[in-house]
Amino acid sequence: MRAWLVESPRPVAEDPLVRSELPTPVPGPGEVRLRVLACGVCHTDVHVAEGDLPLRAGPVVPGHQIVGEVEARGPGVSRPRPGEVVGVTWLGGTCGVCDHCDEGRENLCADATFTGWDRHGGYAEWAVARADVTASLPSGLPPREAAPLLCAGVIGYRSVRLTGLRPGQRLGLVGFGASAHLVLQMARHWGCEVTVFTRGEHHRRQALALGAVRAEGIEDGDPAECHAIVTFAPAGELVPASLRHLRRGGTLAINAVHLTDIPSFPYERIFGERAVRSVSHVTRADAREFLELAAVASIRAEVRTYAFEHANEALRDVKAAAIAGQAVLEVAG
């Protein structure tokens, strides 16, 4: 099968993805094989390709926002059925028996595996996934529009949920890429006022068109007094800058699997019971809840599609933040 591999991480400007021919994978017990229809291109894929997330199991096929049609099932699988179109997220599997799994926090499982990092992902014609981590998709969505919901949407949902944001409160979004434009739609569905902090003029216009009340640079204007803020860029210096806009008692959630160092900042920025917390991966419950919400609230991703042959180009555009919304590889019709 056609596939893209990360064999030796290097900057995306040097085309780290290597075009390869791999055997068609065979699903094992509890697994399904999917004919990949589309796969979202995420900033986490950039981290894998460039080595910020070191390879853990040798060369790997990246991609963890997979929409695929079930083609074959391994022993012990009754659902999903052949012919069903399902999604696969970053969470590739967990042990199911540790304290974190037992508490419903399987994203913190020490033995968790991740799609497109520990196991081959969706930059290929076929992918194998554990049947119990596949997700049902909202009906009627084309694969290219469903793919971004599986990471950008789900991780954005988890990030907001961890802040404790309530309907009608004020939310700040730092950066306006694939995840933030879905979170803004979700927050507006809840009646929240949303301020977007971004440098790009096009992103500011897009945020205002989607219902943001403010869209500006993070150092501009008066503090926004947000009840909650989510940062999306992997830049540690944005944490103290964001705290300027967080009201007393508010929570700042850092949505990043890799982050540069956070510089020191005055205690006054966090005084007043302001909280800062990281966001670590997603759970199956997050995926189920967000996809149900997306269907009810008609949350839609703005996508730019790339032919399978242009995967390296897609990675470059994602790193450069040259896309309004989400990049998606179209793998099959």
Fold of 2-148+282-292+299-330: Quinone Oxidoreductase; Chain A, domain 1 (3.90.180)
Report the Cα 274 to chain-centroid distance in Å. 25
Tokens of 66: 């997979």
The structure's pTM equals 0.94
> Which is nearest to 232 in space by CA: 211, 258, 209, 210?
258
Q: Which stretch of DSSP H or E encloses residue 275?
A: strand 275-278
Burial of 309 (0-12, 13-18, 19+ CB in 10 A): exposed
Read off the pLDDT of residues 165-206 as tens digits, 9 standing for 90 and up. Answer: 999 999 999 999 889 999 999 999 999 999 999 998 989 999
Read off the pLDDT of residues 254-284 as tens digits, 9 standing for 90 and up. Answer: 999 889 999 999 999 999 999 999 999 999 9
Q: What is the average pLDDT across 117-131?
A: 98
Read off the pLDDT of residues 144-169 as tens digits, 9 standing for 90 and up. Answer: 999 999 999 999 999 999 999 999 99
CATH of domain 154-278: 3.40.50.720
> Which is nearest to 178 in space by CA: 91, 304, 285, 50?
304
Read off the pLDDT of residues 63-78 as tens digits, 9 standing for 90 and up. Answer: 999 999 999 999 999 9
Q: What is the average pLDDT across 234-239?
A: 95
Average pLDDT score, the chain: 96
C-alpha pair distances (Å), 87 with each of 59, 96, 199, 221: 23, 20, 33, 41
- What integer pLDDT is reported at residue 333 of this predicted model? 56
- What integer pLDDT is reported at residue 103 of this predicted model? 96
- What integer pLDDT is reported at residue 57 of this predicted model? 85
Residue with tokens 């009810």, as numbered in its chain:
296
| Domain extents in the chain | 2-148+282-292+299-330, 154-278
- Asked if residue 94 lies in contact with residue 106, where contact means CB atoms within 8 angstroms, the answer is yes
